[in-house]
Structure 1
């Protein structure tokens, strides 16, 4: 299966062997397939995410991007293909084990905070579930509150947070287990333009701190202004893997998906 590098724009060639990157990536998905009934939703998707890299996964509705993302995260079992985290084959691991043992963080599309708990309790409770002792819990909670600029609302109930504050808390919760990669599902959904810019800055902050990020979202413009590299899925296959500028200039991507997005 074809996986082009970031400098090459190509249509997928199913007869060509998959060539992995020179260095072992944080995440690698190889030849993913998924069929529902008679419909081949994902048809040989290959992708990778390197260290400290933000990668987007885009595509029109029904293209197979969401199913590909869910297979990578462990929510859907592929009919064929493998998923690796840090070189470890995690294809058969459920999602919770990928998070616990595979150093993967995950932000769902739906609100994931405990509304009746305070901001700091939302973080410390997860650390407690991981078996972290009290002293270390307090230290790590303080670190995450400061890192995501939510120390001033630490005693506030999560139910009263703004959209941007909630997103920051949700991303902070993703980091309690010190993941090497964070999967973000629709991080820009339901938030205003100012908050979008704030969350884009947070995502780039993750990259700058050494954490890889894989994002899928319907907000193509916002994704392309955030990522270092992007895959576009079309009819179950990778149509292009390239930089945001390369993706925006690709004729087929413009025709079938992006239109005049700049």
Structure 2
């Protein structure tokens, strides 16, 4: 038997094996055939896929699809699309004071009102208020643990205040970080050496000048002025690590002045320097006050500080015990009892 014959025989057997009650795929499933009914012969060809007619495509330039975006008439009225919500204008805030220039007004006062601070449930500052005016040297003094350092750090912005307010001519800076206060004219000179030890003297000062003065020629002029003003021009090329204690303090103050502060907060300016350099620091502080800069000093060297300042705030047990001139401070009975001692004299 040839191949065609074998194929025909196989097809016949497959047809005989198909169930008669289901019919071929187009018969109704489960419908019985009647006697003598002509059955549809099954087709071995694959069923044709019925493809629905495609809708007529519109050209890309047809704008009818955009009609859904147009306002529709509902009940005789035109329904307009919803307008975006407009944010309510915020109430105007008082403008931040600017450091004194030829056009900006002078900032005259740095004040603190009712400062409070607690650590681990223990209140260390209780309603401290003080004020610092331009061109004035004020001391913040008191025994150890009295809260003077905490008060000083809250004014600088190193630690946040739990209560109260810190203001520059009425502008509240209590929530501003330290660098924002520096831009408004509040400079800070820490107790620890803050000089860049891997740089020269002029590089230390120029690092700050580049942030505040875009003109290169003016930067160089201001650099020369600061070096001459603080008598450090002879060490301008020297590495900072080779400076003495007094020279280091001079460079730090010159660098702080490069940012054009209105107020300077000096933390322990007499710490870590020899007695000869103390006179230099005293002269430098008076020089800064002569330039119209307000100076706030906190230091443990009471005698040197009282001989330098115009006024003092004495902090005791987290509160201002008294405020006045150095002579009034020394003569105050409570100050002598809690802080200076009975034998203290200027």
Equivalent residues in 2 for 1:44-193, closer than 5 Å: 44-100=127-183, 102-130=184-212, 132-193=214-275
How far apart, in 2, do the equivalents of 1:165 and 1:33 lie? 37
Root-mean-square deviation (CA), in Å?
1.2
> In the alignment, does 2:302 pair up with 1:220?
yes
How far apart, in 1, do the equivalents of 2:344 and 2:202 lie? 39
> In the alignment, does 2:110 pair up with 1:27?
yes
Choose between structure 1 and 2 for higher RCO, CA contacts under 8 A separated by at least 6 residues: 1
How far apart, in 1, do the equivalents of 2:305 and 2:196 lie? 27
How far apart, in 2, do the equivalents of 1:180 and 1:53 lie? 11
Equivalent residues in 2 for 1:2-13, closer than 5 Å: none
* 8 Å contact from structure 2 (residues 213, 219) kept in 1: no
Deviations 1:16-69, CA, capped at 9 Å, x for gaps = xxxxxxxx8421000000011221100000000012000000000000000000
How far apart, in 1, do the equivalents of 2:209 and 2:143 lie? 38
Return the offset for 1:159: 0.5
The normalised TM-score by structure 2 is 0.67
* Secondary structure at 1:99 match in 2: helix
How many residue pairs are counted as aligned between the two chains?
238
How far apart, in 1, do the equivalents of 2:275 and 2:213 lie? 38
* Secondary structure at 2:207 match in 1: helix
Structure 2, unmatched stretches of 5+, are 1-106
The normalised TM-score by structure 1 is 0.88
Runs (4+) off by over 4 Å: none
Return the offset for 1:252: 1.1
How far apart, in 2, do the equivalents of 1:103 and 1:168 lie? 20
Structure 1, unmatched stretches of 5+, are 1-23
> In the alignment, does 2:105 pair up with 1:43?
no
> In the alignment, does 2:340 pair up with 1:255?
no
How far apart, in 2, do the equivalents of 1:88 and 1:192 lie? 40
